[in-house]
Structure 1
Amino acid sequence: MRTLLGAATALALAAALLGAGTADAAEPADTTWSADLGTAEAAGVTVTGGTARLAGAGAFRAPATEGAADGPLLPTGLLTFPARDLPAPTDQVQADLDGDPGGATVDVRGQRAGGGWTEWLPADAAGAVQLPQATDRVQARLVLTGGAAVRGVTLSARPAAQSVEGAADGPPRSYRVFATREGLVGGTTSNGHVITDRDVFVALPSRRALSTNGSSDYSVKVCAPNGRCAFAPVWDVGPWNTRDDYWNPADVREEWGDLPQGLPQSQAAYRDHYNEGKDQFGRDVLNPAGIDLADGVFWDALGLTDNSWVTVEYQWTGTSAQLTRVVSDVAAKVLAAPDAAARVVGLAAGKSTVPVQCRLTSAVGAFLQIGVNQFLDAAAVPDAAKVAPCPGAPAREAASRSPTKAPPG
């Protein structure tokens, strides 16, 4: 009897150990949480009585005329939730809405190993978002249109098979596009920013690269034919289209994937009569603009007096330089040499992202190189002392100094 009990006990213990081993080997469960509507950053959205609705006309501007199969641009607002740290890497997030969501949807992005973010990606018809790489930190935002009323947002992150890895080094994508002046002082941008006089930001025709109000997660470097450059955050959506991330390859581009990468739909419509010369809303495209510039970029940073072709670097698409935010709320001067008296060749918007390459210290102070013959005073960037020194950087001659021209207007 004692022997039989001992055998039974051993079998039970073995089964328990086997079960424990099986449980340990099981895949980790999905991470599910409810987004708090009350703590989200609102742009064109109001949350009352626990329900999120569009506030007034919303943050996105409607087109002047209607038409096209896609219909008019509906007033749209954004509710951006705090970022969420995950216990396991994910590459797929499921979003479920409670209430009367109507045309509401959810965008999700993931933070890369280097600290930058992927672009915002919209959920598909089933509410799923496939991220381009595994991440252990995600952020979601609710996109409201029309009469949608949302009482709750439930998010679920599915564990990824691969681990979080940094992207291979590479320069940011760069394209030559036509730029127009946005103006509209006193108006509201798509991220809820109220436009001020001589403001410093840009608009691109896709909300995939729209920074939250006051942030510079998505910034561009814009250079004019006169050699002046601006570093500025993306705070608005436009001109012309709202789903034209033309800087992305065809298999990623949200719309107009039959066009070459780097060619805005508006440019193809204006120049080649693509889409019968109309934008996504059926409006006749009157210029080929692929970027809009706020007045401070247009006049003060670039010294433009009319719409112009410019070269744009989409900084979040590159990994070859350290992206660092400017400390000040006001624009910092971009200098032609590491000398406070050097010629001013552009501006870096307050809180904008700049691609820091190296640090140069001399008798006249400490400076950071952010491009070819482009320098910032090191005081404009946090932890500048930790930046690696420029290798064998020669002293710049005083000949690079010249009076700064006053901006037009």
Structure 2
Amino acid sequence: MARAASRTKRGRARLRLVLLAIAVIALGLWKIHDARRPGPWQRVVATREGLIGELTASGLIIRADSMFVALPHRRALGRMVEVRYRERAVVVPVLDVGPWNIDDAYWENDARPASEQGRGFFRKPVNAAGIDLSDAVFATLGLPTNDVVEWRFVHRGYVARPRL
């Protein structure tokens, strides 16, 4: 009788342990899935960064063929973004901080870029840009001049799907 009760307790303990392991694995898989989901789209004015030969905030010396963007907060550095303009789209890293501001993580709280309200860190903005595009990204997307683009954070290895 005592052996049977002991076996039952051990069986229940094993069952609890297995259920706990399944729950932990499911939670981990959900977190991975959630982290790989693209962020919400941001619709902002984009400008061409230019600055060939200059150094970005991440240490890159800008070349004419450098593919990157700049967002106005250091927390974005190193992350990947998908940028869309009309039917074209690219996925590139954030390698610089700007335009106009260095402390404006507008995407984190559903705000608009501070430059749209005429606020800049070093000087008053002359346009409402919320993202800077390297010359190569600007050309790849086919922007004729500063214009509104859509962008969002994506995971590394994400493949851009143009709008159909």
TM range (shorter): 0.7 to 0.9
Match of 2:84 in 1: 223
Task: Find the residue that maps to 2:47 and give its secondary structure.
Answer: strand
Match of 2:45 in 1: 178
Cα drift, residue 231 of structure 1: 1.1
Query: Is residue 239 of structure 1 aligned with residue 104 of structure 2?
Result: no
Pick from 125, 150, 153 the counterpart of residue 314 of structure 1: 153
Match of 2:161 in 1: 371
More strand by share: 1
Cα drift, residue 198 of structure 1: 2.5
Report the Cα distance in structure 2 between the residues aligned to 1:245 and 1:182, rounded to whole angstroms. 19
Pick from 112, 129, 140 the counterpart of residue 263 of structure 1: 112
Pick from 25, 31, 51 the counterpart of residue 166 of structure 1: 31
Cα drift, residue 192 of structure 1: 0.5
Pick from 278, 286, 296 the counterpart of residue 119 of structure 2: 278
More helix by share: 2
Report the Cα distance in structure 1 between the residues aligned to 2:131 and 2:112, rounded to whole angstroms. 12
Report the Cα distance in structure 1 between the residues aligned to 2:144 and 2:162, rounded to whole angstroms. 25
Cα drift, residue 315 of structure 1: 1.6
Report the Cα distance in structure 1 between the residues aligned to 2:131 and 2:90, rounded to whole angstroms. 13
Q: Percent identity?
A: 41
Q: 1:196 to 1:310 in 2, by over 3 A?
A: same
Report the Cα distance in structure 2 between the residues aligned to 1:228 and 1:372, rounded to whole angstroms. 5
Deviations 1:239-277 (A, max 9, x none): 00001111102xxxxxxxxxxx1411111x1xxxxxxx3
TM-score, normalization by structure 2: 0.74
Cα drift, residue 171 of structure 1: 4.0
Q: 1:223 to 1:180 in 2, by over 3 A?
A: same
Query: Quick one: higher RCO (CA 8 Å, sep 6+), 1 or 2?
Result: 2
Match of 1:158 in 2: none
Pick from 106, 121, 138 the counterpart of residue 298 of structure 1: 138
1:166 maps to a residue whose letter is K
Match of 1:47 in 2: none
Match of 1:72 in 2: none
Pick from 54, 61, 68 the counterpart of residue 187 of structure 1: 54
Task: Find the residue that maps to 2:95 and give its secondary structure.
Answer: strand
Q: Unpaired segments of 5 or more residues in structure 2?
A: 1-27
Cα drift, residue 373 of structure 1: 6.4
- For the 8 Å contact 1:224–1:310, the answer to whether it is kept is yes
Task: Find the residue that maps to 1:247 and give its secondary structure.
Answer: helix
Report the Cα distance in structure 2 between the residues aligned to 1:373 and 1:224, rounded to whole angstroms. 9
| Larger-Rg structure | 1
Task: Find the residue that maps to 2:107 and give its secondary structure.
Answer: coil
Match of 2:108 in 1: 248
Report the Cα distance in structure 1 between the residues aligned to 2:127 and 2:153, rounded to whole angstroms. 22
Q: Unpaired segments of 5 or more residues in structure 1?
A: 1-112, 115-164, 212-217, 250-260, 270-276, 317-322, 325-353, 356-369, 375-409
2:127 maps to a residue whose letter is N
Report the Cα distance in structure 1 between the residues aligned to 2:92 and 2:111, rounded to whole angstroms. 19
TM-score, normalization by structure 1: 0.31
Q: 1:286 to 1:372 in 2, by over 3 A?
A: closer
Match of 2:12 in 1: none
Report the Cα distance in structure 1 between the residues aligned to 2:126 and 2:108, rounded to whole angstroms. 24
Report the Cα distance in structure 2 between the residues aligned to 1:373 and 1:279, rounded to whole angstroms. 33
Deviations 1:147-197 (A, max 9, x none): xxxxxxxxxxxxxxxxxx726635412110000000111111001100111
4+ runs of 1 displaced by more than 2 Å?
Answer: 167-171, 370-374
Cα drift, residue 304 of structure 1: 1.3
Task: Find the residue that maps to 2:93 and give its secondary structure.
Answer: strand
Cα drift, residue 278 of structure 1: 3.1
- Aligned-residue Cα RMSD (Å) equals 2.2
Cα drift, residue 292 of structure 1: 0.3
Matches within 5 A, 1:384-395: none
Match of 2:8 in 1: none
